Chains A and B, each alone.
Chain A
């Protein structure tokens, strides 16, 4: 009798394993065969209205999650763990007409902040697999801002993680995920409320999600980061990416420490400058390069990334209490930007509301008032250029090569 029961159990487990594999295979196959955007695009008034309703619901549940995860400071709803905010210069190349839109219309050097982060909330130690983020805030950018004047500064933000594709396919799916997280059961998103119903499994998305969690690079400066979602660049659509100029190493850093990425970055920047290539990948409308479905990577064979700017991170010290606080108060939003490079896709529309609301919520709850800075000096007084005899009035927003780049505490 007992034997029979055990046999039966084994049979059930085996058949579920088989089912698991076949559902996964079927979902992967279906994803490979379908036109990725076909089922997602819905621009009817009803579709639009439904998305707006969904957006409000998502913002509400994220506000709830942010409240749940406070430590006691209110954190970002994703990428809450910073490795540091570093000063950088964003140098726009003179490039072909194709890329002459938005910020890339005006070649030159801009002051910028870069925040490196771990993706998971609540924060994970660096030794665990995780998504890593890189957010660039370029300041004093000429052009007409995308956000209304009340919310806009003169900045252009670039927000990226170290994977080229997102694991959630649609904003409706995102709503489901947020619901699951708010319930405290994130895995029910992938396996359904009762886990055993194969029709509720999202195994492809689980596979992609696991794919975005990677072992940490040697330093945050040594990876390649991707925008995942598309943007207009004039008449074209692009995805962008920042790739480390070289594989920076930080010898002597203890890679078993929970915060080794911050230590490694400190080590590198204490000795040398670092840089990233900033690149754009143009969408070819006839290729498999969907706008709405961020789970589909745009092939680099069909359309390679082309460098259009360079991010220069000077040798510096950044790990001061004041700079870390400033970093946490700052908000990055793909909608901080100028016309000519508008975020597109339903996901980016959703991000507009989510990012604006969570940032405002966090800032008001933490008692901070963060304005969009126009210069390093705006953010931290220590970076204000000192007036001197031959230069009595210095405008901190004018980018000046001569500005002492190393006046942070080293």
Chain B
């Protein structure tokens, strides 16, 4: 006993324990440095875009042969999916104001693996994780470090640094591979696991690597040398100190995030999914307002594909939001753009980049759905596809439309329209009330009151139509109630059922108001009790303030209020997106969208629980109960992914909460409650499953399905306020900065009373 207590023994024990811990930690870091559990790299022989235009419609920014008299000149190029290179670059590299634990842009490419000197972020590693590279461009001025699309930077005046900015393209660009050819599908659903805290995933691994860099002086010296390579010797020591401070601050932020958020996501999102609404809520209401607002988010959803969304009247899986700017601001906040919601003087200060969001949004108006690459994946059997077209018209078109609606200027006379039109002319065949019950359109007793001549449209209140005519017409999206479609209800239920306490914010506003501030309080009509704020209402309020703050800086709305300055209505309407007001609706429903190009968006359903279209057309018992994600090898027979088991895969188990693969079923029995199938002509109300032949015909048809003529954007994307890649443009805009918008319309529209 005495010997055991001898100081030498104690010291020895401690020393050997320390050695053990060190060896353990080192071997763990060594393991994750070698990526044990991520999908294997698959060789890419050819890297390409889809759907070149038939004519050369884009001017070549860097022609090799610029002689206009030479017929072989390359002054003009084809577009892909409707985008010329500069539009694609805007989409790929325009930042939106997001920050991840203070990670800086210049750090990312200079980090080493946690153990060893090899660089952490390489093309191979990022491609294994499902990130996508620009097939046309090697490193260039927009992308000096050869990072995946969507990873970019903005300048933060507070930290005086270029912050890593994850923008829209990171999650809304897809890549599928087929026998060694990788195809980038612009606007398609992303396939990475960005929000994952697995230490071998990009963000978490960056933090691990940053931590080892911080702890290991040799590593830190190497890191500092690379990051500060342009710093003159005289300032090097001071800058290095700053870098060390910034590094530590970043690690701390990540640890706090991990502590607060680590246990909130019990259903693993895996590759290609995120619980978008859940994460937005936990970030905005939880991280930014109060720790009491953290809620379990167990409803991961796919990243929706973005072609045509600008033409929709409602976006999001539940079709909850109608205003583009509102949707985009809320998404930025949820992707960790900073906002101050707690401290009086600088209340609502934020890093959301409104002109950039507007540029990306309007750029997306020019994006077209991908067309089936016959040269690569085989010709389409036209006879079979024609059979499929008939079945599509009979069974699918009644929900998936599209339902083109003539845009109106707010002077529609519903009473007259009702006399000369069927209800379905305006509203499609199926539509729900706000609580999710089906409206039987012919049944006037259950039809919501239509206020005539009051800018009122079914299902919307106070819609502003002033600029609707600019897209000529739009596509109405209908809402199918959860209990009819029967797909996993978790996402909708969480959104509808969760309540958040925004009183800390309301208290700040009250104090400011007591000191004479004009800032408004939440509207009691939508938020009667701020301690029980609904998701949509809360976000609409906060997002509205972000919008207002920016517009106020630009002089678009009055300095001490919310009224639009006379003469600026059209610009505000354009920024918001066709003058739509932000009146989110809590539909207990999911929203079927038009299906052109849908073959490129596997896996399917909002939660990605069905790996192929063939399975989606089958009864649920014929769908995979368990499948494996992480590769994007395409199967043209089923219009889906190869989902066999492989090392490093994400196992998708459909029995876990949020992962249900039921519903949207073509099955036998009574239609409804999840069965949407083929209604029996001789037995109304009863459905049957598709035969094998019918499924194959539909699969063939969906390769070439077209939604017909689509709304046309009016002019160029509105990117004049964005001088990318100039560094100054990416700084947060000073108040006098203004964005020039085309306001050459002579249409007489009354803007009276336009409010935000």
Please provide the chain A residues from 335 to 377 with a CB less than 8 Å away from any CB of chain B in the complex.
353, 356-358, 360-365
Let me know if B435 is at the binding interface, CB within 8 A. Answer: yes
A53 in contact with B493 given A59-B486, A150-B685 (CB within 8 Å): yes
Q: Is A326's beta carbon under 8 Å from chain B? A: no
State whether the Cβ of B484 lies closer than 8 Å to any Cβ in chain A: yes
Within 8 Å CB of A365, what residues of B? 668-669
Residue pair B484, A63 in contact (C-beta under 8 Å): no
CB pair A57–B670 under 8 Å, yes or no, is no
CB distance from A103 to the nearest CB of B (A): 25
Closest residue on chain B to residue A54 by CB atoms: B489
Of the stretches A44-52, A109-117, A222-230, A392-400, the one at the interface is A44-52
Q: Is the CB of A64 within 8 A of B621?
A: yes
Is A67 among interface residues, defined by CB-CB distance under 8 A? yes
Q: Is B85 an interface residue (CB 8 A)?
A: no
* The residue from B435, B436, B497, B673 contacting A357, defined by CB atoms under 8 A apart: B673
Tell me which of B435, B620, B660 contacts A57 (CB under 8 A): B660
Q: Once the chains are docked, how many angstroms separate the CA of A217 from the CA of B588?
A: 48
A49, chain B: closest CB distance, angstroms: 5
Q: Which residues from B are CB-within-8-Å of A356?
A: 670
Tell yes or no: B510 within 8 A of A by CB. no
Give A52 to B489 CA distance when docked, in angstroms. Answer: 11
Number of interface residues of B (CB under 8 A): 33
Interface size on A, residues (CB 8 A): 33
Interface residues of A in 170-204 (CB under 8 A from B): 179, 182-183
B436, B482, B619, B668, most chain A CB atoms within 10 A: B668
A362's nearest neighbour on chain B, judged by CB, is B669
**A11 interfacial contact with B, CB 8 Å:** no
Whether A56 contacts B669 by the Cβ 8 Å rule is no
CA distance A179 to B675 in the complex (A): 18
The CA-CA distance from A364 to B497 in the complex, in Å, is 37
Cβ contact within 8 Å between A49 and B496: yes
User: Is there a chain A Cβ closer than 8 Å to B662's Cβ?
Assistant: yes
Determine the residue in chain A with the shortest Cβ distance to B673.
A59
- Indicate if the CB atoms of B669 and A357 lie closer than 8 Å: yes
Contact of B685 with A53 in the complex, beta carbons under 8 Å: no
**Contact status of A56 and B674, CB under 8 A, knowing A63-B669, A360-B669:** yes
Q: Is the CB of B662 within 8 A of A57?
A: yes
Establish whether residues B663 and A53, one from each chain, have CB atoms under 8 Å apart when the complex forms: no
Closest chain-A Cβ to B153's Cβ sits at a distance in Å of: 43
User: Using a Cβ cutoff of 8 Å, how many contacts connect chains A and B?
Assistant: 90
**A59 CA to B670 CA in the complex, in Å?**
11
A151 within 8 A of B: yes
Interface: A325 (CB within 8 A) = no
| A353 and B655 contact, CB distance less than 8 A | no
Task: Give Cα A360–Cα B685 distance, bound, in whole angstroms.
Answer: 10
Q: Could you say which of A48, A49, A55, A357 contacts B670, with CB atoms under 8 Å apart?
A: A357
Query: Is the C-beta of B392 less than 8 angstroms from some C-beta in chain A?
Result: no
> Does A254 reach chain B (CB closer than 8 Å)?
no
B663/A60 in contact, CB under 8 A: yes
Cα–Cα, bound, A360→B670 (Å): 6
Asked if B686 is at the interface (CB within 8 A of a chain A CB), the reply is yes
Contact flags (1/0) for A17-60 with B, using CB distance below 8 Å?
00000000000000000000000000001101110111111011
Would you give the 0/1 interface string for B601-622, flagging 1 where the beta carbon is closer than 8 Å to chain A?
0000000000000000001110
Q: Does B483 contact A (CB under 8 A)?
A: yes
CA distance in complex: A150, B493 (Å): 32
- Whether A364 contacts B688 by the Cβ 8 Å rule is yes
How far apart are the CA atoms of A45 and B437 in the complex, in Å?
Answer: 11
B98 within 8 A of A: no
Q: Which residues of A contact B588 (CB under 8 A)?
A: 49, 52-53
11 A-B residue pairs with Cβ-Cβ distance under 8 Å, sorted by A, are A46-B496, A53-B436, A53-B588, A57-B486, A57-B662, A63-B674, A68-B621, A356-B670, A360-B686, A361-B670, A364-B686
CB within 8 Å of A: which residues of B? Answer: 435-436, 481-484, 486, 489, 492-493, 496-497, 588, 619-621, 655, 660, 662-663, 665, 667-670, 672-675, 684-686, 688
Top-6 shortest CB links A-B? A361-B669, A360-B669, A56-B483, A364-B668, A60-B662, A360-B670
Listed in ascending order, the chain A residues whose CB lies under 8 Å from chain B are 45-46, 48-50, 52-57, 59-61, 63-64, 67-68, 150-151, 179, 182-183, 353, 356-358, 360-365
Kindly list 7 other residue pairs between chains A and B, CB separation below 8 angstroms, not including A57-B486, A60-B662, A357-B675. A48-B435, A356-B670, A357-B670, A360-B686, A361-B667, A361-B669, A361-B670
